[in-house]
Structure 1
């Protein structure tokens, strides 16, 4: 996780390309069968660093797939209060938004329908509010037929 954190710092400093390279190298080291938390985290962040929406969706799908191999016990070794179900709203939201932007309305609605009720799993804090607000914004953009990127609130 420390290596992932260092890669994310590159992106946070504005070097998206270096962050993408670093995370891709980590993905190759972890592999498709490595630690599920590492796979989920790497894929989740790699999605945000892609140049195309189709590639973003592919990484978001990998992040969601990794959750199937993840246990509460494993995520709690990383952060004591974390539960796998609390990861799902964000992962489904990302897929809903990606599918919306590529024009796959059915898949977008499917993932939005999964994200919405799972949002109750989120804490009542800034992160939970951000995800719940983003779910609302993606729903509105989807209803409007927009394929524009989700603007930050």
Structure 2
């Protein structure tokens, strides 16, 4: 049932999460978030935004963190959907989670989906993680031939 509910319109999802908690089924909220992490990128972004808008920012962030296990190009598309919705802070959160969880080469594959937008955002996210993460990601992006990557320092 939670798998089916995850496909509901985004505004209904925070209400469902709250009702599950009120019914003593708080553990099922984690399952619901996991199922939501499998939604198509645009719907995933909308679900994360709906959670944040309903004062469930922790759940929205958990949803985005879980979604970085998806293929790199889908994570990139989710970031693009968040950016298109004006949620640049959550897009940055998602990209930082990607940098933390995946290899630099995988993050570079995500950047390849939209280099003009994602290269600088991913490099900023990597710099926020550590200088070595930034260095490794920049190297992986240069090796992948992505435009807009600064040279080694």
**Please, what TM-score do these two structures have when normalized by structure 2?**
0.38
Q: Specify the structure having the higher radius of gyration (Cα).
A: 2
**Please, what TM-score do these two structures have when normalized by structure 1?**
0.38
